[in-house]
Chain A
Amino acid sequence: MMVTKSHARMRLNDTLSLTYGALRGAPTRTGLMLLAMAIGVAAVVVLTSLGEGARRYISDEFTSLGTNLLIVLPGRSETSGDMATLLMSDTTRDLTLDDARALMRSRYIRRLSPINVGSSQLSWRERSRDISVFGATHDLLAIHHWKMAQGRFLPLVEMDRATPVCVIGARLSSELFGNRPPVGEWVRLGERRFRVIGVLATKGRTVGIDVEEIVVIPVASAQALFNEASLFRIIIEARDRDAIRHASAFIKTTLRKRHQGEEDITLITQDAVLATFDKIFQSLTFTVAGIAAISLAVAGILVMNVMLVSVSQRTAEIGLLKALGASQRQIVTLFLWEAAMLSFAGACIGLLIGLGGSWLIGYLFPAITMGAPLWAVVAAVGVALLTGLLFGVMPARRAARLNPVLALVHHR
Chain B
Amino acid sequence: MIQLQQIHRIFKVGDQQVHALNDLSLTINGGEYLSIMGPSGSGKSTLLNLIGLLDQPTSGEYTFNNQKVTTLSDDQKAVLRRDQIGFIFQFFHLVPRLTAIENIELPMVLAGIPSTERRTRVSRILDAVGLAERAHHKPEQLSGGQQQRVAIARATIMQPSVLLADEPTGNLDSASGNDVVEILEALNQQGITLIIVTHDAALGARAMREIKMIDGRIIDDGHQKPR
Contacts and interface: CB of A to CB of B under 8 A. Distances in A.
B76 interface: yes
A1 B83 contact: no
Interface string A47-84: 00000000000000000000000000000000000000
Interface in A1-25: 1-2, 4-11, 14, 18, 21-22, 24-25
A10 B109 contact: yes
B62 interface: no
B148 to A, nearest CB: 14
Contacts of A326: 78, 82, 110
B66 interface: yes
Interface in A299-327: 316-317, 320-327
B81 A323 contact: yes
A325 B112 contact: no
Given A321-B106, A405-B55, A8 B111 contact: yes
A408 B97 CA distance: 17
Interface in B81-116: 81-84, 87, 89, 91, 93, 95-98, 106-107, 109-115
Given A4-B80, A10-B110, A325-B79, A320 B65 contact: no
Select the residue from A317, A322, A325, A412 with max chain B CB neighbours within 10 A.
A325
A101 interface: no
Interface string B115-145: 1000000000000000000000000000000
Given A1-B66, A325-B107, A10 B95 contact: no
Contacts of B93: 316, 320, 323, 408, 411
A325 B82 contact: yes
B54 A317 contact: no
Contacts of A323: 52, 54, 81, 87, 93
Contacts of A316: 93
B109 A21 contact: no
Nearest to A409: B45
Interface in B128-183: 154, 158, 161
A330 B110 contact: yes
B126 to A, nearest CB: 18
B74 interface: yes
B188 interface: no
A412 B92 CA distance: 10
Contacts of A21: 97-98
A202 to B, nearest CB: 66
A405 B76 contact: no
B167 to A, nearest CB: 12
Interface residues of A, number: 34
A327 B84 contact: no
A405 to B, nearest CB: 5
Contact of B75 (A7, A320, A411): A7
Interface string A341-363: 00000000000000000000000
Contact of B83 (A4, A405, A412): A4
B78 A330 contact: yes
B225 to A, nearest CB: 27
A328 B67 CA distance: 21
Nearest to B82: A325
B79 A320 contact: no
A325 B106 CA distance: 9
A14 B109 contact: yes
Contacts of A24: 97
A329 to B, nearest CB: 7
A40 interface: no
A411 B166 CA distance: 14
Contacts of B75: 7, 327-329
Interface in B39-74: 49, 52, 54-55, 65-67, 74
Given A21-B98, A405-B55, A322 B78 contact: yes
Contact of A1 (B65, B87, B158): B65
B57 to A, nearest CB: 13
B106 to A, nearest CB: 5
Contacts of A405: 49, 54-55
Contacts of A9: 112
A389 B52 CA distance: 33
A404 interface: yes
B110 A320 contact: no
B218 to A, nearest CB: 20
Given A322-B54, A322-B78, A325-B81, 18 more contacts: A1-B66, A1-B67, A14-B109, A21-B98, A22-B97, A320-B93, A321-B110, A323-B52, A323-B87, A323-B93, A324-B154, A325-B78, A325-B83, A326-B82, A326-B110, A328-B74, A329-B75, A412-B91
Interface of A: 1-2, 4-11, 14, 18, 21-22, 24-25, 316-317, 320-330, 404-405, 408, 411-412
24 contacts: A2-B65, A4-B84, A5-B83, A5-B111, A7-B75, A7-B78, A8-B113, A10-B109, A10-B110, A11-B112, A21-B97, A21-B98, A22-B97, A316-B93, A321-B110, A322-B78, A325-B82, A325-B110, A325-B158, A327-B78, A330-B78, A405-B55, A411-B91, A412-B91
Q: Which 5 pairs from chain A and chain B are nearest by CB? A: A325-B82, A327-B78, A8-B112, A25-B97, A325-B81
